Structure 1
């Protein structure tokens, strides 16, 4: 007779889940046993750290739209998931964590680990997920699995946890008495699509027609709705500026004349300059977070606004929009395009000329940085060399800190779609290496490239073994400055006293390329600009994972305010930015 691990594995397979990322434990062995009998439809990828299982599942979900599934055992396995869960929760990524639990009747023995590894896991996961459930019986399990998929994929998507007690996992499954069914609507996010009322669509279309300097800001919700193609078609007729958040990069091709790059303090200079001049901002699938809202200085009091979001709570969090459009991004953008009428071209010669001029200025600045032959190497030079080698469908996985800005500003999105994976829900160091494992699992025929600083790379270097074990075609680029670069500059600029930021000493310089060789990967070390191309060519040609370690300038930063301060001189500490702690006044957007 089959067991409940077979039931769980079968339901996952019927939901279209190809991979489960995690680490087995005694309490969850039944799951892995069930998966092993269905390897033609579903496989398990062994991670070296449970936290990284969530990151791999997160990247899988971003690139497929399906819930990423990870599994951990009770106690020490479970308590490592929240880093990835919080990333997915804040970024609206569908994820399902299958969590082992002590037997049901051991409830009084959980406290203080009286029963080995026990603690209150349900309350724990309730605090870092969209929802969490403890399975109370074998009979309830199929319905709770259906619920988990429905909740994970429904607007607003997010991570959920399903805690399955050991005695339930190991129980027998009588397939005739306990039948299973899946809801095919929740195999992929969004679970259901909705549209805004026609009157609101008409009001928004009228604002767009009336605007002289409109701007469209595309967030991660564009990709969550699988709407990049629809948004690009709309942007081609919009007649205005288009910028994106980090998570929204690829919503439109950045090769279009109207596209000015990423709106973020470490993003595009042109995007930051031009957005200030807009008279109408359409926030499309963007929650107008601290960074995309430029510390909530956007929108300005004189800028009209349209918000497009499936979450009603986002239509008024920091400002009241002129027109709120509640519903699915793809449906609303299609309706807006229809409402603008076929003869609407959105031609605005003055605004288009201004966009072109500012972009040209920004590109000239970038070209100067890219051309630098300095030693240590300028990071823009590295990014440009990567961009030259990327195929049309290759995927970039970014780590946190400066790496995100270097990618955003110097590797353009050339086609609509999610080919740039950013961990911006939490912005935690260590995402890129495990994220690449999830990306490579779902897109094995393309090249996956990660970019991380040496600080971020150190967090999850052990997962290089997972890449090697699965022979994944991943090029891990480590831009090594020997420091926690962002923190060092912050401390220097505002305190004039850098502390605890050195990652190496004169006698100890960790070698990531050499470590990669020892772990079974190809390793390449680069110190001079003329060496970058050959190292990347060899890494891209290798049929497996590699690490390209590049020694970079520790004074380089993509943050524009940091660049200005460094140029002015930083021998004395600047006034600490107290205003960053104060939320801007809530605003009411005007009409045009």
Structure 2
């Protein structure tokens, strides 16, 4: 007779799950046994750290739209998941964590670990997931699995914790008595699509028709809705400015004349400058976060606004939009496009966009062709960009890496080619994220970019990349410091030295560590070494690490650049500043 591990594995396979990422434990071995009998449909990838299992599942979900599945055992395995769960929760990424638990009747023995590894996991996961469930019986399990998929993929998507006690995991499964079925609508996000009402669509169309300098701000919701094709077609017709959040990069091809890059303090200077000149902002699948909203200085008081989002709570969180379109991004953009009248050409706005972009590109050209020592990161990014294929994937780590990628590696086509961990912005995402990406895109080259600080967090997962011989090029931009923090301390705290990762005489040697773990490792110190090193890594049949020694004064943050260049006071707020939302207001009608 089969056991409950078979039931779970079979339901996962029927939901179209290709991979489960995780770390086995005694309490969850039944799941691994069930998967082992279905390897023609579902595989397990062994991670070296449970936190990284969630990051790998996150990347899998971003590229497929399916819930990323991770599994951990009770206690020490479970308590490492929240970093990845919070990333998925804040970024609206569908995920399901299958979590081991002590037997049901051990409830009184969980406190203080009297029963080994026990603690109140249900309360714990309620704080960091969209929903958390403790399975109360074998009979309840199939419905709770269906519920987990529905909740994970329904607007807005997020992580679900499914906590399964040991005695339920190991129970027998009588397939004749306990039937299983899946809800095929929940195999991929979004679970259901909706559209804003016609009356509001018409109001938005009229507002767009009146605008002289419209701007479209695309967030991660464009990718979550699988809407890049319709959004790009809409943008082509709009012929206004288009910028994106980090998560929204690739919503439209950045080769378009109207596309000005990423709107973020460490994003594109052209995007930051031009967005303030628009008279209408269309926020499309963007929650107008602190970064995309430029510390909530956007929208300006005189700017009219349209918000497109399927979460009703996003239409008025920090400002009241002129028109609120509550609905799925793809369906709503299609309806809005159909409602638009013929839009006339706007040569003045197009010329202004071209002028600002040309100035920015001229400044970037100086950076990307620099022969300075130590190496300037823009030079490295330009070399990477020239070698990327149409299907290759870029996985960014947190901190400066996100700025270097977003500003200097263009999205040449529409699609989710760039993965940014911006839900939490935690260090250590790129290496495990690449494992999830490579699992579902084995024919693509996966390229990660991380600082030495971020890379240190998850260097053990290089062993996972090597074990599965994944086609991953890990780029380590090594400045010997936690770059963002070190500059912050220098500029605002009289050069505190708590963010230095090495002494002058000792180098971590990430390329050497990679070689010891079975990867190709290459160390680069000079600009003319970058090209040959990348060529070797891209041609290598397996994972590699290219460690590049960079200038420790280099930063993509525009306020830091200005402060370092001018040595004068900067408008960037001092540490300890409490960000206060400007007065909630009604945005104007054009």
Q: TM-score, normalised by structure 1?
A: 0.98
Confirm or deny: 8 A CA contact 2:562 2:570 kept in the other structure: no
Displacement of 1:575 = 7.7
Deviation digits for residues 475-526 of structure 1, max 9, x if unmatched? Answer: 0000000000000111111112223111011232100001100000000100
Which whole-Å CA distance do the structure 2 matches of 1:143 and 1:577 have between them?
Answer: 49
Which whole-Å CA distance do the structure 1 matches of 2:291 and 2:537 have between them?
Answer: 34
Deviation digits for residues 201-224 of structure 1, max 9, x if unmatched? Answer: 000011111000000000000000
Displacement of 1:371 = 1.2
Confirm or deny: 8 A CA contact 2:375 2:551 kept in the other structure: yes
2:389 matched residue in structure 1: 391
1:40-79 → structure 2 map (5 Å cutoff): 40-79=40-79
Moved more, 488-497 or 22-31: 488-497
1:184 matched residue in structure 2: 184
Which whole-Å CA distance do the structure 1 matches of 2:44 and 2:74 have between them?
Answer: 18
Which whole-Å CA distance do the structure 1 matches of 2:578 and 2:261 have between them?
Answer: 24
Displacement of 1:580 = 5.4
1:135 matched residue in structure 2: 135
Rate the CA distance shift 1:583–1:499 in 2: closer, same or farther, 3 A. farther
Gaps of 5+ in 1: none
Confirm or deny: 8 A CA contact 1:135 1:164 kept in the other structure: yes
**Structure 1 residue corresponding to 2:425, chosen from 424, 427, 433:** 427
Which whole-Å CA distance do the structure 2 matches of 1:332 and 1:156 have between them?
Answer: 16
Displacement of 1:574 = 9.3
Instruction: Tell whether 2:236 aligns with 1:273.
Output: no
Instruction: Tell whether 2:299 aligns with 1:299.
Output: yes
Confirm or deny: 8 A CA contact 2:563 2:570 kept in the other structure: no
Aligned residues: 590
1:75-474 → structure 2 map (5 Å cutoff): 75-341=75-341, 344-474=342-472
Rate the CA distance shift 1:580–1:375 in 2: closer, same or farther, 3 A. farther
Confirm or deny: 8 A CA contact 2:68 2:94 kept in the other structure: yes
1:582 matched residue in structure 2: 580
Which whole-Å CA distance do the structure 2 matches of 1:590 and 1:210 have between them?
Answer: 12
The residue matched to 1:288 in structure 2 has which SS? coil
Q: CA RMSD in A?
A: 1.3
Displacement of 1:347 = 1.6
Which whole-Å CA distance do the structure 1 matches of 2:570 and 2:285 have between them?
Answer: 41
Rate the CA distance shift 1:268–1:358 in 2: closer, same or farther, 3 A. same
Rate the CA distance shift 1:199–1:572 in 2: closer, same or farther, 3 A. closer
1:491 matched residue in structure 2: 489
Deviation digits for residues 246-290 of structure 1, max 9, x if unmatched? Answer: 000000000000000000000000000000000000000000000
The residue matched to 2:260 in structure 1 has which SS? strand
1:563 matched residue in structure 2: 561
The residue matched to 1:320 in structure 2 has which SS? coil
Confirm or deny: 8 A CA contact 1:496 1:571 kept in the other structure: no
Confirm or deny: 8 A CA contact 2:295 2:579 kept in the other structure: no
The residue matched to 1:44 in structure 2 has which SS? strand
Confirm or deny: 8 A CA contact 2:522 2:533 kept in the other structure: yes
Gaps of 5+ in 2: none
Which whole-Å CA distance do the structure 1 matches of 2:291 and 2:544 have between them?
Answer: 32
Confirm or deny: 8 A CA contact 1:295 1:580 kept in the other structure: no
Q: TM-score, normalised by structure 2?
A: 0.99
Displacement of 1:558 = 0.3
Confirm or deny: 8 A CA contact 2:18 2:41 kept in the other structure: yes
The residue matched to 2:178 in structure 1 has which SS? coil
Displacement of 1:587 = 2.0
1:502-541 → structure 2 map (5 Å cutoff): 502-541=500-539
Displacement of 1:584 = 2.1
Moved more, 493-502 or 285-294: 493-502
Deviation digits for residues 384-423 of structure 1, max 9, x if unmatched? Answer: 0000000001000000000000000000001111000000
Rate the CA distance shift 1:580–1:217 in 2: closer, same or farther, 3 A. farther
Which whole-Å CA distance do the structure 2 matches of 1:583 and 1:104 have between them?
Answer: 46
Deviation digits for residues 349-392 of structure 1, max 9, x if unmatched? Answer: 10000000000000001001111101110000000000000000
Confirm or deny: 8 A CA contact 1:496 1:573 kept in the other structure: no
Which whole-Å CA distance do the structure 2 matches of 1:566 and 1:520 have between them?
Answer: 40
Which whole-Å CA distance do the structure 2 matches of 1:339 and 1:506 have between them?
Answer: 63
Displacement of 1:539 = 0.1
Confirm or deny: 8 A CA contact 1:495 1:574 kept in the other structure: no
**Structure 1 residue corresponding to 2:548, chosen from 537, 547, 550:** 550
Rate the CA distance shift 1:289–1:281 in 2: closer, same or farther, 3 A. same
Rate the CA distance shift 1:234–1:573 in 2: closer, same or farther, 3 A. closer
